[in-house]
């Protein structure tokens, strides 16, 4: 039996109870990366613990892949994929574009997912059949848009600095063709693709927990999300998400070029 929306929302509420009180509260930050900066906060760890406790209680036969507390049962039919705070840099900077990502994989395929932004009170949820939004302005089904052509597209990436030299060359080629490009919205950019406000997101070096909760929301809203070679995105890596097949194919032709 698969979980329902109320259980996903229960998980999000448990995470919110740990993250929101710490947002803009002068929290302590630990750097996980020697020679670089990969931050983690108390909120990341506490939120994942809260999510995992509920999953282990109600779905003990499911596996869990989490960013902060390791993996359990990745060979099981159902595996939860958790990123308690996607966009930790935004979180510690006081910018409300971070989110909690909760995905459910069945036999390695993302089938249900949630993007939750506690500060704005917005939730983007995919139940296996479609994607929906709930927030301060009500509830509605999500539908990505078809802007027709890459030249009409709005493009997002977290930062142009995430790309290697070769990747950056391809990304810049696409950036030069679009109508508008913006940086720095982390998982929120993908939510905006599903909602029909943004047309394209291109990123690299992502982990499974960076995309696990996002994939179903995009796909079940009518969008497309793949790796740069057109493959399935569940394991992360180089990722492209688009509101329509046509724009995806135009951008992919550049990204997959050798």
What is the per-residue pLDDT across 157-172, written as a single tens digit (0 to 9) for each? 999 999 999 999 999 9
Q: What residue segments make up the domains of the chain, in order of their start?
A: 5-141, 150-255
CA-closest candidate to residue 187, choices 255, 105, 102, 244: 102
248 Cβ contact partners less than 8 Å away, ≥ 6 residues apart: 200, 224, 226, 240, 242
pLDDT for position 2: 84
Phi then psi for 70, rounded to 5 degrees?
80, -175
Which of 33-42, 147-156, 159-168, 212-221 shows the lowest mean pLDDT across its residues? 33-42
CA-closest candidate to residue 85, choices 18, 145, 142: 18
Percent share of the chain, pLDDT over 70: 94
pLDDT digits (tens, 9 = 90+) for 86-101: 998 899 899 999 999 9
Phi then psi for 183, rounded to 5 degrees?
-125, 155
**Which carries the bigger pLDDT value, residue 62 or residue 68?**
62
pLDDT digits (tens, 9 = 90+) for 27-53: 665 555 555 545 567 888 999 999 999
pLDDT for position 37: 43
Phi then psi for 221, rounded to 5 degrees?
-95, 0
Mean per-residue pLDDT of the chain = 94
pLDDT for position 70: 82
Specify the CATH number for 5-141; select among 3.30.428.10, 3.30.540.10, 3.40.440.10, 3.40.630.40. 3.30.540.10
CATH class entry, domain 150-255: alpha beta
Tokens linked to 77: 């039919």
pLDDT for position 42: 83
pLDDT for position 39: 52
Same fold: 5-141 with 150-255: no
* pLDDT above 80 for 185: yes
Strands of the 224-227 sheet, one edge to the other: 180-183, 154-157, 200-206, 237-242, 224-227
Q: 184: left (phi > 0), else alpha (psi -120 to 50), else beta?
A: left
């Amino acid at each position: 039996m698969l979980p329902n929306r109320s259980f996903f929302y229960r998980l999000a509420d448990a995470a919110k109870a740990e993250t929101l009180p710490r947002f803009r509260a002068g929290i302590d930050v630990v750097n996980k990366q020697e020679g670089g900066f990969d931050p983690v906060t108390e909120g990341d760890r506490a939120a994942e613990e809260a999510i995992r406790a509920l999953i282990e209680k109600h779905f003990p036969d499911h596996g869990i892949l989490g960013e902060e507390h390791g993996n359990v049962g990745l060979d099981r039919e159902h595996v939860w994929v958790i990123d308690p705070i996607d966009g930790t840099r935004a979180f510690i900077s006081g910018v409300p574009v971070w989110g909690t990502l909760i995905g459910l994989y069945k036999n390695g395929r993302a089938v249900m997912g949630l993007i939750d932004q506690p500060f704005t009170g917005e939730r983007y949820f995919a139940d296996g059949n479609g994607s929906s939004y709930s927030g301060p302005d009500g509830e509605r089904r999500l539908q990505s848009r078809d802007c027709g052509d890459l030249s009409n597209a709005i493009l997002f990436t977290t930062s142009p600095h995430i790309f290697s030299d070769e990747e950056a060359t391809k990304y810049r080629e696409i950036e030069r063709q679009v109508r508008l490009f913006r940086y720095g919205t982390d998982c929120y950019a993908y939510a905006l693709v599903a909602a029909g406000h943004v047309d394209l997101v291109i990123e690299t070096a992502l982990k499974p927990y960076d995309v696990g909760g996002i994939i179903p929301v995009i796909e079940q809203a009518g969008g497309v999300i793949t790796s740069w070679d057109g493959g399935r995105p569940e394991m992360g890596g180089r990722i492209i998400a688009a509101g329509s097949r046509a724009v995806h194919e135009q951008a992919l032709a550049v990204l997959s070029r050798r």
